[in-house]
Amino acid sequence: MIDLPQPTGAELWPPEEPGPRARLHKPWRTLVAVVEVVLAVAAGWAAYALWHGGAATVVTHTDDGAALESHRYFGGMLAAAIGLGTVAVLLLVDAIRQLSLAVRARHREPKA
């Protein structure tokens, strides 16, 4: 068994960085969250429109009166809808993160 020296109070790792500590509580994060929610709604609406535009029903009538129905799917539009849906979800997740940082994370002043 190897006996390694243990750090004391002055040698803690990682060492603290010099300078002022970064503040997480910034009220402008609320505005960023609102803008991200608006963009997520727009991306969701566009994804919905692309998804419904990515499929078409084709009906062909034969000479004997039979109706043949088939469905045609457009891969580019469906892929764009999936991509925009993913972007909308990511924007909503980041909006929640921004809002939680704007509301809860406050810098505590060290007690003297």
Task: Give the chain's domain count.
Answer: 1
Q: Is residue 93 part of a domain?
A: yes
The two tokens of residue 36 are 């991200």
Q: Is residue 94 part of a domain?
A: yes
Residues of the domain holding 87 = 24-103
Diameter of the chain measured on Cα atoms: 94
Q: Is residue 45 part of a domain?
A: yes
Prediction pTM value = 0.67
Listed as ranges, residues in the chain with pLDDT below 50 are none
The two tokens of residue 4 are 């390694």
Rounded-to-integer distance, Cα 74 and Cα 57, Å: 12
pLDDT at 23: 66
Q: Is residue 108 part of a domain?
A: no
Q: Is residue 70 part of a domain?
A: yes
pLDDT at 22: 64
Q: Is residue 9 part of a domain?
A: no
